[in-house]
Structure 1
Amino acid sequence: MLRRRAGLALAASLVVSSLVASSPARAQEIVLDRFVAPGDVVAFESRSEPGAYYYAPTRARLARGSEGRPRFSFLRYVERADAGVDEGTGGGIVHAVVELGLTDGEVAKAESALRAAVPGARLAGPVIFRSGRFGLVSSFAQEDGELTRRVVGLGTAPVLDGGKAAVSMQLTKLGAKVLWESFHSATPDVSFQFEMEVAGYRAPKQVRIEADFERVYEHRRVNEAVATPVLQAEIDEAFDDLYAEGAIRVEIVGDDAELSAMREQAFAMLRDLVFQPASPTPTAGAEGERRSALDRATELLERRREEARDANALAAQRREELAASGYEYDALAEAFPLVFAAPAPATGVDPVTQEALPELAAVALWERKRSRQRGTYRVDLDKYTADTQALRFDENVGDLTRHLDDAEVFRSVNLDDPMFRQRTIVASLQGVNAAAFEDEIAYVTVQFRKRHESGALTVEDLTIDRGALDRAGNRFDFVYGWKGDADRDRWNDYETRTVWGYHGAPSIEAPWTVRREAVIPLRPPLQRRRVALEVFDHDALAAAGVRSVSVKTTSAIGDASQERQVTLNTARGELSSSIELLVPADATTYDYEIVWRLKGNRSITTGPQRGDQDILYLDELPEAS
């Protein structure tokens, strides 16, 4: 529901002794490297349901409202004509809702193609996206007439109901100018690139990964991420260095052709242990600081595009030979580089294809975790291994020329115009999906207060739940006007306060905060922390007579506590899993207990322990008492 009232209302706190863990019923045990591509989808095989596949689309499209109007809006703030692009407080706000699902007809067509490829197979439903990130890229002409591309926005993309994702970002003054001019050109070129994350398992492979955490943390780029968010591409470059130096090792038995994909998987697993997603900011880096993430992303984009051009020039000499061999390029390999591996042609000639020019070097921003991993990281992929996969979707916004005069879609406001006496502030949830309102969040209340110079107050509050999030597409507006405000600069100041209500736990209320930005990022005070559970030496457990291992974690949330438990039936080959905790954003530790159940109804336990690592090895038994 979405409620607005003139007065302020505080949410009542619920005081209980424990926070009930959410049910894992919705978990999909898909195998990330066992798939088929029937039509315009990629279908992942289920690990637990014979013959079942879960599908993901390979493209995205801009959502439309009931009247056919695109669910897209661009509000630009401009200043006097003589102000430079790096001066003043101009900029803009972009909001959009993008559909990542399929129509019933597309699903039926994909299922028919799946059955033709795999007799008896069926589509059990869409994959569940855990989270999403996006980048916004626009082409524009430079002063010399040369067309170039610029990254104008990076951010998170909360997953809504119905296979949709929401985008909301604040643009810099330059980014807003570039984007506005692109939309007003004869051939606008504006693209979203999404990376949507799904969870599943990797099929067993004879691969072992090791990494020296001390050497990882000594790398310059990893240290920079303590104070400044880094791009995923920058992390990959750092890991390339560490791999070359031997600090990261990937040992593979068998086909060396898989080494590149296995190295990429190792990088992804390490990245999730050392880093966490960061919230992007639109501003350029201050003097003396590193350049802004947008500037670095633009530079990386151009570098990757140049590398792709060079690779294409070298590959051109072999394309005729490949065509003669009957090799056909699968475009899905570009969209899902970790999932799809191009097969070698029957002639035995290594496939070389024309590499598509990258649209974006990286859409994810990361920062180093407060907790530091220690020792040596070891994982053996000879079992089903819990992992995540980023699926990429590209969407060209398309020609919106006919909507340029629609103030609901495009609007430009001159900040120096004395007639500009109404301001819109946009609030949006960051890192919160619609499903979170079922599992953990009951509601979010945002209270807004503007004190005018005349003494008048503009006060509003709204409450966000799952239905409101879906209806509004993660855009919630506050509007205030001009009430005797002689100081135009002070007129931009306002105050907000948030109250987060959680199922079965006390509500968390933030203090009043003075703001002046046009976008309010609503970040939850509690965050999910994923702890990997791994059995490295299965033989040691078998020799000790271990039949199963249970891990129980406890995290404190104010006066409440949350318990989660996962059990691995090691006797049946369950050797890898993960457990997700809901913890305060500034928490670095959690409590846990591991219990090994042995033959003869005996058990060994660690007893209550305090941990700060994001991986627990379950093959190191304590001495039995």
Structure 2
Amino acid sequence: MRNRTRLTNKILPAMLWFLVGCPFGGKYLMAQQIQIDRGIRVNDLWCFPTLEDSLVYRYLPNDARLGLDKHGAPQFSMIRYVDNANASTTNGASIGQASGGSVLHFTVLYETEKSKITKAETALKQKLGNNSLRLSGPIIFKEGRYSLVSSVLNRNNNSVERSILAIGKAPVVEGSWVPLSFELTPEQSKILLESFKMTTPDISLVFDMAFEGITDAFQADMTVDWSAIKRGQHYRAGGSAYFIGADVEAQVAEMVRNNSIKLTTTGQDANIESLISKLYDRIVQLLYDPVEPEKMMDEEQMSGVISQLLDPASGLLASRNTTGFGLFAGFKYKDIQSEGKSVMHFNARSVNKKHHLITFNIGNFYKHYGDKTNHFKTISLEDPDFQQREIRVGIDGDLAGEFDKMINSVTVNLQKVHQSGDTTMRELVVRKSDLVNGEALRLIYGSVNDQNRSNWLSYQVKTKWHFSGGYGEYETPWQDHTSAMINLFAPFERRNIQLLGDINALADIKAIVVKVNYSFFGQNRSFQQVIRPGENLTDKSFQLITPVDEFEYNYTIHWIKSDGHQLKKTGKDSFGLLFLDELPEITIQSHNNN
């Protein structure tokens, strides 16, 4: 990098000397200067003699076309995209409107066909009667801007109208490409696509190119009345007013008509319009500051520009020359401090700037390329690689109340084995606070080379329940799911065991002891009730918390007699009814209540 820098430091001064200082370089630059007042239009080309050699002419490029890639194919693409994820329906309709739009990209260059140049050179020789004339090449423009014009939908009144879609600086050398890329709404995309199908589509590019040349010698005086200019309607708007080139052209013409700017000339050329063109740069420099047009142009001004570009007969955009007031130049008035009048004298040749318009229409491009997917294509934004699956976690209504009684938390684990073999693991802990705060409970997994979209919907889930009150924990095995919702139901249920019978009719029984035990996810749970004659059995029922669908429990009933002997009965039950007045026949002698 240091060697490259040293080399550049040596080459750059030499190049500057070559272009400016050395005789050959200076001659090359002088050859670029044209005699701008002596242009001749032949074979649809404007040709201007050079200042250095009047037998050498240069032409203004006036044709534009689509750029081509290395294979000769047009550099054009219109991708319409549909976002079905954000589709909307109205009035309960089952078919809705998806969001989306389109991205339009193409390149345009301006150049002149060799055959046209050859024919123009021949016509120039014949017209001027001199076979020594030579058309040596294109004029290199001083500066330029481009503007893309097409019809779009006006959302304010639902009308279709021409609008400037893009504006920017254009290259000054013939053969340079202008790349264009911008986005359209779904409505604009539809209008543009239908326009492409027409013979002359409503999409055009306009190049507003400025070029300079040396005028013929002229003598003129220009008197500027600063007080009259300040009294003008446009100037009173001050720095808040911005103007495009067409506005400035009209304002200067008005200043000349009302003598705010007075031009007088002597000699053969007494044409005021020609004189204004010659002195345009001086007038603009005196009164206006340049402004980037894309920063200040409003819709009304854009419409005014477009109307100037339309051919009155066809209604289409057409190439034409301007006097020097560029369409896409932007200006604002200077803060003028001068008073009274100023007189300026001109008595020589001067550098004059003019503008040249080159227009391009896309033509019947769709007829030849409309079926080519590398030029026109509609895609869905539902790219599988960018999709993600959201699994909502729902809480059963009965379960919500258990967070106050039985449950500390629930851990939900999701496992997704992708088609590639990779595994995505997700975990969600559900607490009572999540329910109170209304938190969205969800688990998300993405797509990892999952080409089989049906299988992509499948996943596995297991849950781990953390119980309060010494009930421990319970973990489910992995279970297959495809639904977009995981509903959490309590893995247990509350069951009442009723004690029935007429215990007062039992002779010589002073107490009954009932024991119940069962397995709660591997843990043994047991409860006991003691009933004495005269007590209400309704208050002596059991409430068990058992795993779902596991109804069976073990029970033992002891009837204790007054003499200390016991009657005992054991068994299993799943109905939730124990009868205490059905005494067994076996008597056990005992001195305790066990």
TM-score by length of 2: 0.48
The structure whose RCO (Cα within 8 Å, separation 6+) is larger is 1
Whose Rg is larger?
2
